[in-house]
Amino acid sequence: MQRRDFLQAFGSATALAPLVVAGLLSPTRALAVSFNRAAFEARTAADALRLIGAAGAETSRDIQLKAPEVAENGAAVPIEVASSIPGTTRLSILIEKNPLPLALQFNFAAEATARFQAKLRMAESSRLRVVATAGGKHYTVFREVKVTVGGCGD
């Protein structure tokens, strides 16, 4: 599926406009497939991956994940993520050992590059996993980050 197709698959913004006015759709829903909020409540990485539909994600070298090898402060670990997989429409981040592993997900329209920087909390040393979604398929990459002082508890 081409990158632009997801909007067409959902109907054009113009076609949806009357529904937005009628309050039947929130404007942001026109961007892409909506998120599964339950995945953010999952307490294991395996459950979270299953709930975002990415349990069978295959490893890809076309996803870049920059993160420190050792993070001194788990309260704000800087990460940079980019996918060069054509047609990437979503990036999801999981911190596998956090109490709630799914950290965030971004949907990207055609005007946006599938890339972002963020700062995340890590409770302890953990595997950090990226899932890229492109054309309905899921791709993944991960790396270990050691945390000196955890950032979730007190």
Partner 1 sequence: MSEPIKIRATVKGTEGEVRVLMPHPMESGQRRDPAGQALPAHFITSITLSLNGRPVIEGALGTAVSANPLFAFQLQGVKAGDKVSIAWLDNKGQKGNAEGAFAAG
Establish if 16 lies at the interface with partner 1 (CB under 8 A).
no
Tokens of 57: 């994600």
Tokens of 142: 């991960």
Establish if 32 lies at the interface with partner 1 (CB under 8 A).
yes
Sole binder of partner 1 in the list 14, 58, 61, 153 (CB under 8 A): 153
- Residue 58 CB, nearest approach to partner 1 (Å): 23
> Rounded to an integer, what distance in angstroms lies between the CA atom of residue 6 and that of residue 136?
10
Establish if 30 lies at the interface with partner 1 (CB under 8 A).
yes
- Residue 3 CB, nearest approach to partner 1 (Å): 11
> Rounded to an integer, what distance in angstroms lies between the CA atom of residue 38 and that of residue 22?
27
> Rounded to an integer, what distance in angstroms lies between the CA atom of residue 12 and that of residue 22?
16
> Rounded to an integer, what distance in angstroms lies between the CA atom of residue 101 and that of residue 80?
18
Establish if 2 lies at the interface with partner 1 (CB under 8 A).
no
Binding to partner 1, residues 72-131 (CB under 8 A): 75-77, 95, 98-100, 102-109, 111-113, 115-123
Instruction: Indicate the residue among 52 and 57 with the shorter CB distance to partner 1.
Output: 52
Establish if 35 lies at the interface with partner 1 (CB under 8 A).
yes
Closest CA to 58 of 152, 151, 129, 145: 129
> CB-based contacts of 51: which residues, under 8 Å, 6+ apart?
36, 38, 39, 42, 102
> Rounded to an integer, what distance in angstroms lies between the CA atom of residue 114 and that of residue 93?
13
Interface residue list for partner 1 (CB under 8 A): 13, 27-28, 30-32, 35, 37, 40, 75-77, 95, 98-100, 102-109, 111-113, 115-123, 151-154
